[in-house]
Amino acid sequence: MKITDLKCTILGGQPTIRIATDDGIDGWGAAERSKHYIKPHVLYYRDLLIGEDPRDVERVMLRIRRQGGFKPWGSAVSAIETALWDIAGKAAGVPVYRLLGGKVRDRVRVYNGNVRFRMGGSEPDDYARVMKQMKDSPEGFSIIKQGIAFHGPMVREVDGFTYGELRDGGPHPSRGPLTERGLNHIVACVEAMKAVLGDEVGLALDCGPGFTVPDSIRLARAVEHLNLMWLEDLITGDYVPYVLADLYRDVTTATSTPIHTGEQIYLRQNFIDLIEKRAVSVIGPDPLDVGGIAELKWITEYADLHGVLMAPHGTGDGLLGLAALTQVCATLPDNFIAFEYPTASTEWWPDIVEGLPDPIVTDSFVTVPDRPGMGLNLIPDAARPHLSDEDADFFD
């Protein structure tokens, strides 16, 4: 079997790739829906793939892996990797989880970082209201993650929140020391959310990047009594191309509140310090940024040896990303907590794929499918009307 083509289109806002083969088997992959600009980067790798056997996933990845980078520049490589596994599973007639060592769980827990309701403000009552809405959502989420502080509008909407300069440009651009008022406001909002969730639903907070080390420690200690699942990306994080493990270790060793990071990191090599120094309690690579699902599994296994937990990122990965996350998380060791539940980028995306369960999530779990490959296939006739003129030949 040989790869004959690599194509990429933006389908309903979701960067979607197709790897075609001379056996007529297609592999599907995706990048986060915010990365509409990634198409040329995906196609850059086309000539390196043509003629290769897609079932030799690692051999193909050795041709392209070193040319990726921290979020967002690892997403093209990651999308290709998932599509290769999709082909390998279909060619063997087995679900991808069997090729990754077999599943250890039949259902995979998800957490909510994506089913959202209008905030309307940054006051404790606003957070309590949306938390009630998310708690009542039919998916029955057992863990909910909420953006707060620098990861959202609070930094601008609360007067006197920080001593730092407020910046524009790019995601989460502001950083700096908190005022006492700012810290107290965060704690009040967290207490309001936990009053709604009680001990029935775990609460995780997406906090930055933007915090200083002293403020990270103050916040983590101030919420210890609330037994949070984790504080995420306090110092570095989304779209930050470095790790700063030593700074995270200063925070982690100063509190009982679990500290989390990792969604922006590319490749296992860049998790070495976080894991070996036990600089955080939880890591959260995204398979569509870190280098793919095998990369995620390798990182998880190594983290498990060091007592570090795993909660993969995935909020914008769409339905193809959901399929990939389900397959790999079915195989992960017991340090796995849950993965971040991705949803369809448009209301019609569920209509252009086959193999999607209905409902997708029940009592916070996704059932692992036994269909060959990733378990989802695009339906060309249903998807064609949604292609741009430029990509009219995507399925040809």
Residues 135 and 77 in one domain: no
Same domain (yes/no): 56, 111: no
Q: Are 228 and 141 found together in one domain?
A: yes
Residue 317 sits in a domain whose CATH number is 3.20.20.120
On whether residue 18 sits in a domain, the answer given is yes
Q: How many domains does the chain have?
A: 2
Distance in angstroms (rounded) separating the CA atoms of residues 123 and 383: 42
Domain containing residue 72: CATH number: 3.30.390.10
In-domain check, residue 395: no
Which of the 8 DSSP states describes residue 9?
E
Cβ–Cβ under 8 Å, residues 27 and 84: yes
Convert 349-365 to b/e letters by CB count within 10 Å (16 or more is b): beebbeebeeebbeebb
If asked whether residues 209 and 316 sit together in one domain, one would say: yes
| pLDDT surpassing 90 at residue 169 | no
Place of tokens 């420690």: 217
Domain match, 297 and 320 both: yes
Bridge pairing between strands 107-111 and 339-340: parallel
Percentage of residues in the chain having pLDDT higher than 70: 100
Q: How many CB atoms neighbour CB 225 within 10 A?
A: 11
In the chain, pLDDT over 90 holds for what percent of residues? 98
Task: Give the residue-averaged pLDDT of 268-290.
Answer: 98
Residue 285 and residue 246 share a domain: yes
Instruction: Please compute the mean of the pLDDT values over residues 176-180 and round it to a whole number.
Output: 97
Whether the Cβ atoms of residue 133 and residue 117 lie closer than 8 Å to each other: yes
Report pLDDT digits (tens) over 362-393: 999 999 999 999 999 999 999 999 999 999 99
Residue 203 has φ and ψ, to the nearest 5°, of -120, 125
The domain of 350 spans 99-377
As a whole number, mean pLDDT of residues 303-317 equals 98
The confidence score (pLDDT) of residue 198 equals 98
Does residue 308 lie in a domain region? yes
- What local confidence, expressed as pLDDT, does residue 8 receive? 98
44 pLDDT above the threshold of 90? yes
Considering the chain, what is the average pLDDT of its residues? Answer: 97
Please give the average per-residue pLDDT across 302-330, as a whole number.
98
For residue 253, name the pLDDT band (cuts at 50, 70, 90).
very high
Q: Would you state the structure tokens that stand for residue 368, as one six-digit string?
A: 């692992």
Q: Tell me if 347 is assigned to some domain.
A: yes
Q: What is the pLDDT of residue 240?
A: 97
Closest CA to 155 of 170, 146, 165: 165
* Rounded Cα gap, residues 273 and 275, in angstroms: 5
- Residue 34 within a domain: yes
Report the pLDDT value the prediction gives residue 170, as an integer from 0 to 100: 83
Count Cβ atoms below 10 Å from residue 284 Cβ, excluding itself. 29
Task: Looking at the structure, tell me whether residues 217 and 118 fall in a common domain.
Answer: yes
Do 75 and 26 belong to one domain?
yes
Position 130 scores a pLDDT of 98
